[in-house]
Amino acid sequence: MIVPQASRLRDVRYDIRGPVLSRARQLESQGHQILKLNLGNPAPFGLYAPGAVLADVAQGIADAQGYSDARGIYPARLAVAERYAGVVPGVGPDDVFLGNGVSELIVMALQALLDDGDEVLIPSPDYPLWTGAVSLCGGRAVHYRCVESAGWAPDLSHAAAQITARTRAIVIINPNNPTGAVYSRDTVLGLLDLARRHNLLVLADEIYDKILYEDAVHECAAALAPDLLVLTLCGLSKTYRLAGFRSGWLVVSGPRRDAAEYLEGLELLANMRLCPNVPAQYAIHTALSGRQDIGELLQPGGRLRDQRDHAWRRMTEIPGVDCVKPAAALYLFPRLDPEVYKVSDDEQLVIDLLEQQHLLLSHGTGFNLPSTDHLRLVYLADVGVLDDAIGRLATFLESYHQ
Ligand code: PLP
């Protein structure tokens, strides 16, 4: 029997876990060991959540056997609301939806919003689930440019020029994956102003809001625009090092009245999936209690800070490679100078690197970047492993031709 794929999947792409990963699996099945720096997954690199968080999950497990409230258990929603208290006005537990990771909530937020052909403004490069999820929901992802020479800040005039009568929402990924950029207050205000002038829902993906280096300051979009409907998304995967728990939240802020129908749709979708995974919700209260945050890993001498600095230094020592130093998150997004490396297919480059050096990175076009001159490296591994990986990349590039 031929089983065709749903046509709605035709335009859905998620290349960072696509053909390259399949090739890596093949090589592994042949007995090769692959060094994987392609996924922002802290635990495999020995970055674990504090014991107190795990203890609370273990303690809650007996009470976690039934479905919970579709939006999530009350103490966890209260803890999320308190995380934003004093920053975003008027947020309470009833404005919080918990989900199986930010990923599930992204899809729900778009499913509740989009009719066929509706458009959503998304940064380029992006975290590609956003683009894929818009397509999945029948919408059209329209990308606004982020400018490398400006530290990957969004180009506000380009964003404004992309708006049409069909534009329904604007996605802000700040701090950004894959670029590691943290947007200035003026940039966030500029994006919010576009939303204000064109009646757009603001979808603020702030999953890296506390993974900041040096003097970087995160500007929470919802805090700067209490007059706009903003959905803020964040979760336990990165800051709290619990990616496998699949636990995230969506916070609704701003004027709810005009959005009552949309919010009812969101609630309907939350109800349809019954509830998010309940045991993982028991991690939220303790993780957010403030006793154990990621701060010390980010200070000078802290693991993530050292790894970022080391990886960036080694990467930019490779001839023909430059890289905006990331101010946040877990990634380097280096550029291969097209004068030095003539790359017409960056996915092929990543496959060739994988085959020759058994090193798995991600290609820039997988993040909906139009040019083929970028790679993404995750610097969660310790300094020795990063040294080895970047050494392998340098050796590979020395003789690489397409
Ligand atoms: N948003 C961004 C910007 C991400 O980088 C990621 C994961 O890498 C996600 C969302 C998905 O997070 P979660 O694990 O909560 O589904």
Which residues, listed in sequence order, are joined to residue 378 by a DSSP beta bridge? 331
pLDDT given at position 56:
87
pLDDT given at position 26:
94
DSSP secondary structure letter of residue 235: E
Q: Is 280 helix (H, G, I), strand (E, B) or coil?
A: helix
Separation of CA 103 and ligand 1 centre (Å): 6
Which of 17, 97, 102, 172 to mutate for ligand 1's pocket (most ligand atoms within 8 Å of CB)? Answer: 102
Using omega within 30 degrees of 0 as the cis cutoff, is the peptide bond preceding 334 cis? no
pLDDT given at position 18:
78
Taking the chain (402 residues) in runs of 10, the rounded mean pLDDT of each run is: 87 79 94 95 93 89 94 97 93 97 98 97 97 96 98 98 98 98 98 98 97 97 97 96 96 94 96 96 90 84 97 97 98 97 95 96 96 98 97 96 84
Separation of CA 102 and ligand 1 centre (Å): 6
Cα distances (angstroms) measured from residue 361 to each of 24, 194, 198, 351:
11, 35, 38, 9
| β-bridge pairing 35-36 and 359-360 | parallel
Q: Determine if residue 146 is left, alpha or beta; phi over 0 gives left, psi from -120 to 50 gives alpha, anything else beta.
A: beta
Unique residue bearing structure tokens 């203890």: 55
E-assigned strand segments in 195-292 = 201-205, 230-235, 248-253
**Which amino acid is it at 66?**
G
pLDDT given at position 292:
56
Q: Which atom of ligand 1 is nearest to the CA of 247?
A: 15
C-alpha–C-alpha distance, residues 41 and 330, integer Å = 9
pLDDT given at position 291:
62
DSSP secondary structure letter of residue 326: P
**Which amino acid is it at 25?**
R
pLDDT given at position 301:
94
Q: What tokens does 334 get?
A: 């280096």
Q: What are phi and psi of 335, to 5 degrees?
A: -110, 130
Question: Treating both helix axes as pointing N-terminal to C-terminal, what angle do 101-111 and 129-136 enclose, rounded to 10 degrees?
Answer: 40
C-alpha–C-alpha distance, residues 291 and 367, integer Å = 35
Residues with beta carbon inside 6 Å of ligand 1? 40, 101-103, 127, 173, 177, 205, 207, 235, 237, 243, 248
Q: Around 187, how many Cα atoms within 13 Å sit in the side-chain half-sphere?
A: 24
